[in-house]
């Protein structure tokens, strides 16, 4: 009986990840799986020490209101594209292929009136023809 129950539990657990809704945003035809950073600690750490990300994934920084934001690449190990998005969910600015920074002082990247910043692999914006002025869909669910 114990073996039968254990088997049933393992079968159920095997299906849980596929049943869990993934978090994603869409830009044009691109669906990007995202990790949400919506607290100070997450904003500070960002993608530090991440050595790789899958092709269509990234981190979405969500701020309580639109404001000037400043980003840096301290202890980031991979180049990133930073996509700055306003409160209307429109891309305002794209900083492309920002290089990692392992020694200070690290360069900073700022933009005003920003509610979200999407960090993806360096080269993602060019590869997927993402441009300023494009609308970002499914982002409102993270407010």
The phi and psi torsions of 110 (rounded to 5 degrees) equal -125, 155
Tell me, what's the pLDDT at 141? 79
What radius of gyration do the chain's Cα atoms show?
A: 18
pLDDT in tens, 90-137: 999 999 999 999 888 999 999 999 999 999 999 999 999 999 999 999
Q: Where does the chain have alpha helices with state H?
A: 2-19, 40-45, 124-127
pLDDT of residue 102: 83
Residue burial 44-54, b: 16+ Cβ < 10 Å; e: rest: eebbeebeebe
d(CA 23, CA 139): 9
- For residue 142, the model assigns a pLDDT of 79
Q: How confident is the model at residue 5 (pLDDT cuts 50, 70, 90)?
A: very low
The two beta strands, 57-72 and 30-37, are parallel
What digits encode the pLDDT tens for the residues 7-34?
A: 333 333 343 344 344 799 999 999 999 9
The DSSP line for 114-133 is: EEEEEEEETTHHHHTT--TT
pLDDT score recorded for residue 127: 97
Question: CB within 8 A of 112, min separation 6: which ones?
Answer: 67, 68
Regarding the domain delimited by 22-142, which CATH topology (the fold level of the hierarchy) does it fall under?
Jelly Rolls (2.60.120)
pLDDT per residue as tens digits for the range 36-84 = 999 999 998 999 889 999 999 999 999 999 999 999 999 999 999 999 9
pLDDT value for 10: 35
CB 58 within 8 A of CB 25: no
């Amino acid at each position: 009986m114990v073996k039968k129950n254990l088997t049933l539990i393992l079968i159920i657990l095997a299906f849980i990840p596929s049943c869990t809704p993934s978090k994603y945003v869409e830009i044009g035809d691109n669906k990007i799986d995202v990790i949400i950073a919506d607290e100070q600690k997450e904003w500070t750490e960002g993608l530090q020490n991440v050595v790789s990300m899958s092709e269509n994934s990234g981190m979405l920084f969500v701020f309580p209101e639109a404001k000037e934001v400043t980003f840096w690449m301290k202890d980031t190990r991979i180049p990133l594209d930073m996509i700055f998005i306003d409160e209307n969910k429109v891309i305002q600015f794209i900083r492309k292929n920002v290089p990692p920074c392992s020694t200070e002082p690290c360069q900073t990247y700022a933009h005003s009136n920003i509610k979200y910043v999407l960090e993806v692999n360096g080269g993602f914006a060019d590869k997927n023809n993402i441009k300023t002025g494009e609308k970002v869909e499914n982002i409102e669910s993270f407010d």
